[in-house]
Chains A and B, each alone.
Chain A
């Protein structure tokens, strides 16, 4: 599934982060409607993944009189209720258009003592951006305070698109590549993380961003903890090799064996698909980002396919499958397209 990257509402973007955190409850400060349709969306997604967990979302359920007299009391009451219900290790507070427009002082309400950490995330619905902005702001708001924790040779995975169907496959491929160079994952910020996991963020020696749209988060973490970042998951054959080399450089590791192993693996895949040699293809109109297109060209070339305007149209998958494993997925898709009789 494609996530609505640019449009939509900051609330949904932020929820894509906060609902991933184990033990966290998200309070949506606004009318029930804002929570309702988001709840439905996340619920449907979980169900689609055979993941029967209900998203932990609570609405402050503002009524007209809250709009007129201010919604701060409702917010405080709701946070207290959530905290008192126990079994919650973090409360995230998101604003909607309405609470943003009437100017509730959410930060100071969140600053009270509730016995549980409460993190306000500046969203305010449509105010100040869309889905992507909400995603980034949620991550920035959740960055743990720098504690003296020592860095270890390990990597953090930062800014995964939690609503992507393929996210676990992407993650699996990246962690396979990491283990090939002997680097464990320190924490995922924030796919399926716990509060404890998030607090380990400063200990990672490198941050691997999901894609370049997360650079703002990478920059912030670098300024905060001095952790360098790699700006994207690897795409395509040379992208995957460069990824390993870049990590080797940052972490001062010799990655030549891993690189050789990966190159051999890629060779095997191209051999597996040798029957595609000589096929004439072209890429679909709606093809995604420049990076994906570059990776497509490289894969086609290495597979001995010819890119030609009159060739058979093949898809450029979005999200583009990651790493060497992704090459096989792309080639299988193309094989299907080439074999389809029109």
Chain B
């Protein structure tokens, strides 16, 4: 117990979570031990019962997640929700996880579709509150391997409803890369035969891909979680990426740009999303994708409720609606990812897509290390070292690109 108190004091000393320290001090049961994530969220209570719909709902969503027909008249699942519940929906799309975190601080949005690299920050800063899953009937049909994960729960308290997920796969030109790559080595090995033809993801979070590679190839570094890197591990990962740079044809952050690179053959191998592969294939390019033996990074998104929401009944109705089999299938099919609802696959227009996205494949899902925000408290539970935070990751990313 004493150790735990010292630890907690140490955490407060890091001064990241002043609010959290303030509340957790009095709550000895839940607050004395930081969660597996290494921090203690502010104490907020989930809704206990639904009331009358408030007539309004402000949704903060990834583009494609809350379509109301304004982008494409054929794609609209917001209007049926409005008709069913009487909750008028305002949709605000965001472009990056950081934008979502910033916008949620305004308190103007009721629900958000947060990826793992945003959700922890939202939980820790008290911008989102725990979710009472009993009030979301469709939660029962969500794949078990997506529930109570480190990015959507703290101390086994759920902070949202899983929405969909996908892996950052290894995509390659079948005509130029033979035999099928079984490892990420062609992208990282200095002597790779694809020098100048490699495509890498352009974001600080890509450092985790290098760490994942090192987990398998340099076990003596002791990396347990690619998002929890101490000084030595971090240096090894960034050094690996600096060595990778001469191999890289270009870094991508726009998936259409990568599709074009693979199609034209300027790049022949690279880290990609399933939607990129599908798109390139549909345009006739000889592209295939695989999750190599080392595993892969990926994303898993969660619908979360703002702690400041004035429309919580509508928010819960939305979370239930958007994860219902039919709507979940529509969104997943439109966006190109695996749905979270186990009954969604039956609703896909193109039934083969569920296999493409490995929707029902828990083993495949387990191979994925989902995007998580790196924080000073090591996410793998180590307390004897300090890990590199996302600010460090960003600076290092600038350095890697040179």
Q: Do A and B come from one complex?
A: no
* B interface with A by C-beta (< 8 Å): none
* A interface with B by C-beta (< 8 Å): none
